[in-house]
Amino acid sequence: MNHPAFMSRPLHHNYVQCTACEHWCAIAPEEAGKCGVRFNRHGELQLGVYGRAIATHIDPIEKKPLHHFLPGTSIFSLGTIGCNLACAWCQNWEISQRKQLPPDEREIGEPWAPEEIVAYCQRANIPSIAFTYNEPAVFFEYAFDTARLAHAAGIHTVFVTSGFETLAALDKIAPFLDAVNVDLKAFREDTYRRYCGARLAPVLRNIRHLVKETKIWTEVTTLVIPQLNDSDQELAAIAEFLAEIDVDIPWHVSGFAPQFQMRDRERTAGTTLQRAWEIGKAAGLHHVYTGNVIDELRLGGCSDTVCPQCGERLIERAGYRTRVKWAQPGQCPKCGEQIAGVWQ
């Protein structure tokens, strides 16, 4: 469904500039931006996927992954086609790299209006909505309208994002967004440019901004890819960057599996994730978690939430199953330490 895209500004000669992400696409009449779903129609930016979800699922919140946000609850997850990045290892490339047909052609996806999403979650008693599977910045107006209605209805909202939004976009949705997981893909500019078609600096800026300047609960994920970003030096640089912002930022180090244009590498070894976990803890991060774990016995306990003060195990996880061991949410029963997060 075509819908006016308010994250935009007019330019000369009927060009229009998209202001949703850091590509700042200047789009010619009847053309689309890099994402393939934001169109210039007669000098006005239009979103071609508004109200059209290509994927919807009810997931455990831990799948986002979020470990310090309403653990053990369900979340309604949806995404559209299109993406502003083109990551060579994308696990959802069938939808993220798919472009919307010209606006006068067949629309892609199932109709899910913002009002319908919120009403469904109310009926099913689902406490949260996630904008995920592809980059929510590319369907920003759809996500914004849904988040605003959800907020009014007492339903939480979550971005699972590359973190490549403009500051204007983040600040626009901040009053209606409760949590975010930012995919920090690497700590080298050339990796972002070569493998993702993006830049590192805006992502680092946005992580800092989210934590320091907004009330949005923020967690970070790094997919650890063999021979790309798995060196001790790069993993330590990421961990130290996060710890300098706030030692309570949960860092998820996740295992890679061959996908899309990167099928020439092996899966991430369990020992590599164990090393990444140790590097994160050594940098001073209170909460480091492994994900997509193959050898769960070897990595036993690395997905549990542990009190940073006394070491008491507070939330045990096996896959997406959780066992919460405290009586008072967010408080260590042994030493009384308050654990950072959104627990209820």
> How far is 79 from 109, CA to CA, in rounded Å?
9
Strand partners, 338: 331
Q: What is the largest CA-CA distance in the chain?
A: 66
CA angle 308, 187, 25 (to 5 degrees): 120
Tens place of pLDDT for every residue, the chain, 344 residues? 789 999 999 999 999 999 999 999 999 999 999 999 999 999 999 999 999 999 999 999 999 999 999 999 999 999 999 999 999 999 999 999 998 665 555 678 999 999 999 999 999 999 999 999 999 999 999 999 999 999 999 999 999 999 999 999 999 999 999 999 999 999 999 999 999 999 999 999 999 999 999 999 999 999 999 999 999 999 999 999 999 999 999 999 999 999 999 999 999 999 999 999 999 999 999 999 999 876 554 466 789 999 999 999 999 998 889 999 999 999 999 999 999 999 99
CA 189, 136, 155, 209 torsion-angle sign: positive
Domains observed in the chain: 3-47 (no CATH), 52-324 (3.20.20.70)
| Rg over CA atoms, the chain | 20
For 275-289, give the DSSP string.
HHHHHHHHTT-S-EE
Residue 145: which of 125, 132, 129 has the closest Cα? Answer: 129
For 151-188, give the DSSP string.
HHTT-EEEEEE-S-B-HHHHHHHGGG--EEEEE---S-
Orientation angle between helical segments 140-152 and 114-124, nearest 10 degrees: 40
> How far is 330 from 224, CA to CA, in rounded Å?
29
Question: Among the residues of the chain, which ranges form H helices?
Answer: 93-96, 114-124, 140-152, 167-173, 189-191, 200-213, 232-245, 270-282
Residue carrying structure tokens 């209805």: 153
Residue 247: which of 289, 287, 206 has the closest Cα? Answer: 287
